[in-house]
Amino acid sequence: MGESRLVPRKVTRLTDNAVIDLLGVLAYGELTAFDRLAEDARMAPTTAGRAALARMAAAEIGHFGLLCDRLTELDADPEKAMSPFTAPIDAFHDGTRPSTWLESLVKAYVGDGLAADFYREVANFLDESTRSLVLSVLADTGHASFAVREVRAGIRADPAIGGRLALWARRLVGEALTQSQRVIAERDQLADLLITGTGDLAGVAELLKRITSAHTQRMSQLGLSS
């Protein structure tokens, strides 16, 4: 018998503030992803690698525009909606600046992947229109397969790099969890959305277990121990 899984509840009465908070944090995340990918592209050892990250950065700024448009449709000021999340997201990125090309790819693949997994889970609780938008902006822009290919090639060329990158990935996850807890603690609407959508604290625990499992699989894809 497979492991039982709680079925996420569709939250039928979301407060406007909860939706605006969710779209705001996603929008600022996409904006900073654009900045980071554009900056990291300069570390690429090849022109092809630089171009690949530049294309991904372009996709992120496109996602940012879609989220801002949706916030405007909801009569929310995008800048105001993003403002509660600038400090924790900036703190995460300031504390986890990659020093090498491979570190930048691991950060995007592991760090962004962890966040995307969480927001996909939350999308299950949303109305269909908002859910479709969230899933659209979280769709893979091609970075996943590119990062896996580059990191695995780097480890084959120098196996000692694998241990250092695994430590780097663990640090990324720790920093991401710290800042996420800070956001949830400060934004009651997001906490309520999470608990209501999963049903109870046991449901939240199941959600976190699924995210942890996906992270372990992602690390394995990179050829790194979790």
Q: Would 190 be classed as within a structural domain?
A: yes
Tally of domains within the chain? 1
Q: Would 5 be classed as within a structural domain?
A: no
Q: Would 112 be classed as within a structural domain?
A: yes
C-alpha distances in angstroms, 132 versus 29, 45, 145, 147? 18, 36, 23, 26
Q: Would 1 be classed as within a structural domain?
A: no
From first to last of the 226 residues of the chain, give the pLDDT tens digit.
Answer: 344 344 444 444 445 788 899 999 999 999 999 999 999 999 999 999 999 889 889 999 999 999 999 999 999 999 999 999 999 899 999 999 999 999 999 998 998 888 888 888 888 888 888 899 999 999 877 778 899 999 999 999 999 999 999 999 999 988 888 888 788 777 888 778 778 878 777 888 888 888 888 889 999 999 887 6
Return the ∠ at Cα 216 (arms to 212 and 218), rounded to 5°: 115
Q: Would 54 be classed as within a structural domain?
A: yes
Show the domain range for 150: 16-222
Q: Would 11 be classed as within a structural domain?
A: no
Q: Would 3 be classed as within a structural domain?
A: no
Q: Would 212 be classed as within a structural domain?
A: yes
CA count, 13 A, side-chain hemisphere, 108? 32
Decide: 39 and 97 in contact? Cβ < 8 Å.
Answer: no
What is the CATH classification number for the domain harbouring 191?
1.20.1260.10
